[in-house]
Structure 1
Amino acid sequence: MKVKYFADTDTLYIEFREEGITGSRELDENTLLDVDAEGNVCAITFEHASERTDVKHLTVEGIAA
């Protein structure tokens, strides 16, 4: 799993898994889901992230071994 923030475009990208992405779906004009062939979410992109999320604070809990 990866979390990336691109300050130059104010974009937050959260990748749950990188393999198997076959398409994308728009939730709204600023939110995009990347999905696999079965429709499972592989990643999510938030445009205008600093206005829509708390990108300055990241908390990670329950990391699996």
Structure 2
Amino acid sequence: MKIRYFQDTDTLYIELRPALVSETRDLDEDTVIDLDERGAICAMTIEHASERADIPTFSYEQIAA
């Protein structure tokens, strides 16, 4: 997974896994998801991210099964 924040455009891009995008869908005015050929989500783009998420306090934790 890759998470990128573009400060100049206030855009958050979350790539869940590398894949060829076969379809892009608008979830709302500022959120787009990319789907692979099977219809599975492979990425998400969020515009105006600083207004919609707490960008400076991002954390990640992997929980053992």
**TM-score, normalised with respect to structure 2:** 0.90
Aligned length: 64
Say which structure is richer in helix: 2
Moved over 2 A (4+): none
**Paired-residue identity, %:** 53
| Superposed CA RMSD | 1.4
One-letter identity of the residue aligned with 1:39: G
Could you tell me how far apart the structure 2 residues matched to 1:2 and 1:55 are?
A: 15
Task: After superposition, give the CA deviation of every residue in 1:8-44 in whole Å (9 maximum; x if it has no partner).
Answer: 0000000001223211000001000000111110001
Q: Please tell me whether residue 2 in structure 1 is matched to residue 2 in structure 2.
A: yes
| 1:18 to 1:31, Cα distance in 2 relative to 1, 3 A | same
5+ residue gaps in structure 2? none
Matches within 5 A, 1:35-46: 35-46=35-46
